[in-house]
């Protein structure tokens, strides 16, 4: 194994070790934010409070959408880092 090949492999392993915890953290945050938004909106609908329904989305919508986008981009990058193959039934 050459030094260049070893360096590329080391960089890939480091990227894998960084990407997976970032992905898991972003996924949990985005799912929690989505859950909070839906629960608060359900409470607002049940209590006929239009301010709560729209207010929770105004307050958390941008953070939720940004985190969801980051999670998706990390998953896309990880498909190359981990060299995942096409899944599912053919």
Cβ–Cβ < 8 Å for 77, 62: no
| pLDDT: which is higher, 80 or 73 | 73
In a domain, 86, yes or no: no
CA distance 51 to 45: 10
Does the structure show a pLDDT above 60 at 88?
no
In a domain, 21, yes or no: yes
Does the structure show a pLDDT above 80 at 87?
no
Does the structure show a pLDDT above 90 at 32?
yes
In a domain, 87, yes or no: no
In which band, very low, low, confident or very high, does the pLDDT at 59 lie, cut at 50, 70 and 90?
Answer: very high
Average pLDDT over residues 48-61: 93
Number of structural domains in the chain: 1
Q: What is the pTM of this model?
A: 0.78
Query: How high is the pLDDT of residue 6?
Result: 79
Q: Which domain holds residue 9?
A: 3-81
In a domain, 90, yes or no: no
In a domain, 14, yes or no: yes
In a domain, 25, yes or no: yes
Is residue 1 classed as helix, strand or coil in its secondary structure? coil
In a domain, 28, yes or no: yes
In a domain, 88, yes or no: no
């Amino acid at each position: 194994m050459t030094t260049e090949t070893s360096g590329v492999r080391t960089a890939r392993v480091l990227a894998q070790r960084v990407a997976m915890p970032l992905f898991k953290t972003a996924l949990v945050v985005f799912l929690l934010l989505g859950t909070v938004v839906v629960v608060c909106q359900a409470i607002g609908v049940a209590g006929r409070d239009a301010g709560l329904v729209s207010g929770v989305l105004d307050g958390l919508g941008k953070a939720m959408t940004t985190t969801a986008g980051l999670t998706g981009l990390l998953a896309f990058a990880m498909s190359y880092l981990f060299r995942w193959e096409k899944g599912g039934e053919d």
